[in-house]
Amino acid sequence: MKIAIMGFGVVGSGIGEIISTSEDSLEKKCGEAIEIVKILDLRDFPDSKFDCFTKDFNDILNDPEIELVAEVMGGTKPAYDFTKQLLLAGKNVVTSNKELVAKHGTELLQIAKDKNVNYLFEASVGGGIPIIRPLYSSLVSNELTNVIGILNGTTNYILTKMIKEGETFEDALKGAQDNGYAEKDPTADVEGFDTCRKIAILASLAFGKYVNSEDIQTEGITKIKLEDVAYANEFGGVIKLVGMAEKTENGVYAGVCPLILKKDHPLSGIDDVFNGILVRGEGLGDVMFYGRGAGSLPTASAVVSDIVEITKNKGSHIELGWVKGDDGYLKPLGNQSFRFYIRLKGNANSADFCREGFNVITLDGEKYADEFAIFTPAMTMAELEEFKASELSDYTILGCIRLANE
């Protein structure tokens, strides 16, 4: 099978590396050789072992021999137009482009179906961790109810440094940038946008209807202080940035936010740049997937696994079970009840909260002298606002984080 790669960055070059070094074993697995015949990139790569570079997308689109294209350019422009044209031309597309899948997945999957080709995106979530295919394949006979994941390695690295080494958010971010784990502009990571796209994709697959990432309430980790880490620790928990989605009797909700996980929660031990994804289903119980969520070769290997999958399913469309959602399908995260951790400063009288359903935590040391933290009973966002108005008006709220439901 002749294929093309669009984008020769870390993932694209990783795909080239895997395909050229595993030629024989891939041919055995696919039943035919995989040959890279075109690579689209605006840059020049004079030292590359490949000599099939082009700067013109039409060289790929109009080559009838190319049956499959790996789109690893990232972003939606021009990736969206390119992908659409390729699918319409009857070519298979595999991608690691979470932004594009989260935004236009429904439309692109429909085109792939109409044209009896495939649009696969195992690499869009969790790097080399197999999670997309298990959701549409292995776990397909379960009614899934929950997906919750640590989906962004950069923020998990930062939080781990804060928790384990007492670094401030700012210092940990700088360390992550120095180590190449965070970009110069870390917004997409630390504000939760990357996690948001990934949980949108997972929720769309797990529950079968499209969840628009733009409708998902998203909160990052920039406001997390070492004091919050200390109170969480005293409570027996750790703070993690999670994407979560749940199917309840009242509908589907999804959100991205810092969450305090008790230390017996399966995701609580996922540290550093690792990702972990917990899937819960009726009957199934909890299943967790864990691994390095990024990196050139893991991500590229996931793209290549999609290429292999397509060679094994030539001439047929693999149904992922992801269709357009109804209006109002996604409910606001605020409707769902959680316990809240709230750090309070002021004329502290923690005894007010020593009552059923609450936990009160005070810490030793001068810096904690004028403050304390409470864990409220489970409440919706509206109930939280009411509670703040009625009982917390005398305090300054220094921090507020959800506690994971059991």
Give the up-direction half-sphere exposure of residue 77: CA atoms within 13 A in the CB hemisphere.
0
Find out whether 236 and 214 touch, Cβ atoms under 8 Å.
no
CB 262 within 8 A of CB 236: yes
Is 29 tagged catalytic?
Answer: no
Would you say 196 and 239 are in contact if contact means Cβ atoms under 8 Å apart?
no
Take residue 254 and report the two structure tokens written for it: 């999804």
Check 38, 103, 161, 198 and give the catalytic one: 198
Name residue, tokens 């094994």: 312
* Alpha carbons 39 and 394: distance in angstroms, whole number: 63
Distance CA 211, CA 323 (A): 10
**Which range touches a copy of itself (CB under 8 A), out of 64-72, 91-99, 282-290, 330-338?**
282-290
Comparing CB distances to a copy of itself, the nearer of 273 and 392 is 273
Give the shortest CB-314-to-a copy of itself separation in angstroms. 9
- Which residue from 167, 189, 309, 371 is in contact with a copy of itself, where contact means CB under 8 A? 309
Kindly tell me which residue out of 74, 251, 281, 377 binds a copy of itself, with binding defined by CB under 8 A. Answer: 281
Q: Give the footprint of a copy of itself on residues 169-188 (CB under 8 A).
A: none
Closest contact distance (angstroms) between CB of 121 and a copy of itself is 12
Bridge partners, 120 (sequence order) = 94
- What is the 3-state composition of the chain as percent helix, strand, coil, each rounded to the nearest 5? 35, 25, 35
Residue partners of 269: CB distance under 8 A and separation at least 6: 263
Of 213 and 275, which CB lies nearer to a copy of itself in the complex structure?
275
Q: Check binding of 31 to a copy of itself (CB under 8 A).
A: yes
- Stretch binding a copy of itself (CB under 8 A), from 73-81, 123-131, 379-387, 391-399: 123-131
Q: Are strands 237-248 and 285-292 parallel, antiparallel or unpaired?
A: unpaired
Grouping H, G, I as helix, E, B as strand and the rest as coil, residue 93 is strand
State which of residues 46, 64, 180, 285 lies at the interface with a copy of itself (CB under 8 A): 285
Asked if 128 interacts with a copy of itself (CB under 8 A), we say: yes
Report the C-alpha gap between 52 and 270 in whole angstroms.
Answer: 41
**76 phi and psi angles, rounded to 5 deg:** -105, -15
User: What is the nearest approach in angstroms of a copy of itself to the Cβ of residue 46?
Assistant: 25
CB of 333 to a copy of itself, least distance (A): 25
In the shown chain, the binding pattern of residues 76 to 115 toward a copy of itself, with x for contact by CB under 8 A and - for none, equals ----------------------------------------
Phi–psi pair at 160, nearest 5 degrees: -60, -40
**Segment interacting with a copy of itself, rule: CB under 8 A, options 57-65, 242-250, 279-287, 383-391:** 279-287
What distance, in Å, lies between the first and last C-alpha atoms of the chain? 48
Q: Is 290 in the site for a copy of itself (CB under 8 A)?
A: yes
Active site residues per annotation: 198
Binding site for a copy of itself (CB under 8 A): 14, 18, 22, 25-26, 28-29, 31, 122, 128-130, 133-134, 137-143, 266, 269, 281-292, 295, 297-298, 300-302, 304-305, 307-309, 312-313, 318-319, 321
